[in-house]
Amino acid sequence: MSVRTDFDVIIIGGGSAGSAAACRAVEEGLSVCVAERLPGMGGTATYGGINRFEQCAGTHGLHEQLAQELYSEGSGGGTKELPNSQIVGRYFDENETGAEHKPFAECPWALSSIGAHGYGMFFSRNDVHHVIWNPFAYLPEALDAMLRKRLRRAVVLLNTELADCETSGDRITAVRVRNRATGVTSRLTAKVYLDCSGDIVLSRAAGCAAACGSEPERQYGESLAPDEYENTVNGCTLVFNVESLRERHIDEVPSEFRGTGNRWLRDTIAANGVGPVSCFTRYPHQGDININMLPTMEGAEYLSYPPDEAYRVCLGRVWAYWHFLQTERGLDHMRMKHVFPIVGVRESYRLVGEYVLTQTDCQAGLFRQPRADSLIAYGAHSLDTHGARSKKHAGQIDTVMKIPYGVPYAFLQPKEYTNLLVACRGASFSHLAASATRLIVTMSQLGEAAAYASADAIRRGVSVKEANVTYIREKLRAEEYEARIARNLVKAEHV
């Protein structure tokens, strides 16, 4: 039997953006191939242990459908209610959620208390109370299975990574992908290529302009940017799960990691007085607790290592930290259950496309930002650089969005190619904008938009640069959604 090698769309990376793109492209009747390096789908949102959908601006479309399905199948069970997209933009009222709340001052090392419900509790976090930030936790394997089921009509190549690409003029003409288990390489072709790899591996292989680190203020006129370029990249986290036990238990640190993370831990404690600050989220069902440090490693340090080495160093830190939590923070009735197989990367390389979304665009909000008539994804998360603050703003806390902002379609387009779109956390965002846009919900919408753009361009025989934005927005029900945000903002004024 001959194996298909030519497609309408090839998608590199099956994370939040790539899987959303694949699902929508299949629905549009396109032939789709996804090459994903991991053994399953979902990327950071499954294999990285970030299995929490955050309900805020942007909770609609495929993201909302997946949450509904996870909930109704019981896979996301344990949460008290579904993400409610009607309340976007309202001021946060802790009582509405019925969630436990511990003031930050009582528990400074834990951004969220270990609650009785399935919700992660971020409520003590400074400065973000004005958005509804009520995460919906689900089991990673449930989302992976759901995505694979939706993609039965696509060719999904798991354990398969991009090796290189071929280009001619302003077009990508082929990609070579390699099966990581067998080493076999295949040459694949498509009309449109979507780079959903997070680290924009395809765009970089094709020579597109890319950035990494914090741009200076003069580059995009961002008031929070440093005076000069800084190699500050949002931090990475190796997430791990622990389970509660009835009896006292202290895990033995595996011999190969004994002591390896101690110096980092000591330095972190010396720097802030409390050590790593983490989000603790109790999973639905079995009640495991998901521990997400902010961060395990600064992004620039992560990028300085080969990936396997970065993972190993992070693992040493995880063990040092877990031992500290067990022996110094009272988590001594628990057991390490597992460490996720990939480091969660918040930021690495970003496209420098036709247009670059900036802090100024995000803070202008979706009714005032430039190109507001072509928005295809939304967010309301604060400018949230975690460990990676520019020196100029070293003491500054996260910067809140007063109203949601959007991502215009043009920001997915590289300058160099007419059949390539970049839809993932590495899209054409400045360092500061990327610190806000990166949420799963926003990435999922970028993927959906890229799929609709591909479908329209392929049907009309034009380049993706000429895709009809009205069509993309109709498919995304963007106008309806923007009207809903506007209504809720008006309501919020009167709460």
Ligand X SMILES: Cc1cc2nc3c(=O)[nH]c(=O)nc-3n(C[C@H](O)[C@H](O)[C@H](O)COP(=O)(O)OP(=O)(O)OC[C@H]3O[C@@H](n4cnc5c(N)ncnc54)[C@H](O)[C@@H]3O)c2cc1C
For 111-251, where are the E strands, in sequence order? 136-137, 155-157, 160-168, 171-179, 185-195, 210-211, 236-237, 240-244
Please identify which residue in 317, 425, 465, 475 interacts with ligand X, judged by CB under 6 A: 425
Of 9-17, 317-325, 328-336, 456-464: span binding ligand X (CB under 6 A): 9-17
368 Cβ neighbours under 8 A, 6+ residues apart:
none
Q: Of 44 and 75, which CB lies nearer to ligand X in the complex structure?
A: 44
In the complex, least distance from residue 435 CB atom to ligand X, rounded to whole angstroms: 10
- Is 345 a binding residue for ligand X by CB under 6 A? The answer is yes
Q: Name which of 306 and 330 has its Cβ closer to ligand X.
A: 306
- Record the tokens describing residue 479, joined without a space: 């106008």
Nearest to 277 by CA among 286, 268, 285: 268
Q: Does residue 54 interact with ligand X by CB under 6 A?
A: yes
Give the CA distances from residue 7 to residues 4, 29, 156, 173, 423, in Å, rounded to whole numbers and listed in that order.
8, 12, 12, 12, 18
382 interacts with ligand X by CB under 6 A: no
Of the candidate spans 93-101, 165-173, 434-442, 475-483, the one that interacts with ligand X by CB under 6 A turns out to be 434-442
Do 454 and 9 contact (CB within 8 A), yes or no? yes
Stretch that binds ligand X, among 12-20, 83-91, 103-111, 454-462 (CB under 6 A): 12-20
* Cα dist from 71 to 21, 118, 137, 139, whole Å: 22, 11, 10, 10
DSSP reduced 3-state for 179: strand
Confirm or reject binding of residue 299 to ligand X (CB under 6 A): no
* Contact string 203-232 vs ligand X (x = CB under 6 A): ------------------------------
What residues contact residue 31 under an 8 Å CB cut-off, 6+ apart?
4, 7, 8, 9, 155
Stretch that binds ligand X, among 248-256, 300-308, 356-364, 438-446 (CB under 6 A): 438-446
Binding mask 16-45 for ligand X (x = CB under 6 A): xxx----------------xxxx----xxx
Residue 185's DSSP bridge partners are 178
Measured in degrees and rounded to the nearest 5, phi and psi for residue 289 equal -115, 130
d(Cα 57, Cα 110) in Å, to the nearest integer?
A: 25
Residue 44: CB minimum distance to ligand X, A: 4
The residue (of 425 and 431) whose beta carbon lies closer to ligand X is 425
User: Mutual orientation of helices 440-460 and 61-72 as an angle, nearest 10°?
Assistant: 120
Piece of the chain touching ligand X by CB under 6 A; list 79-87, 190-198, 308-316, 317-325: 190-198
Interface ranges with ligand X (CB under 6 A):
12-18, 35-38, 43-45, 48, 50, 52, 54, 135, 161-162, 196-199, 201, 237, 292, 344-346, 424-425, 438-441, 443
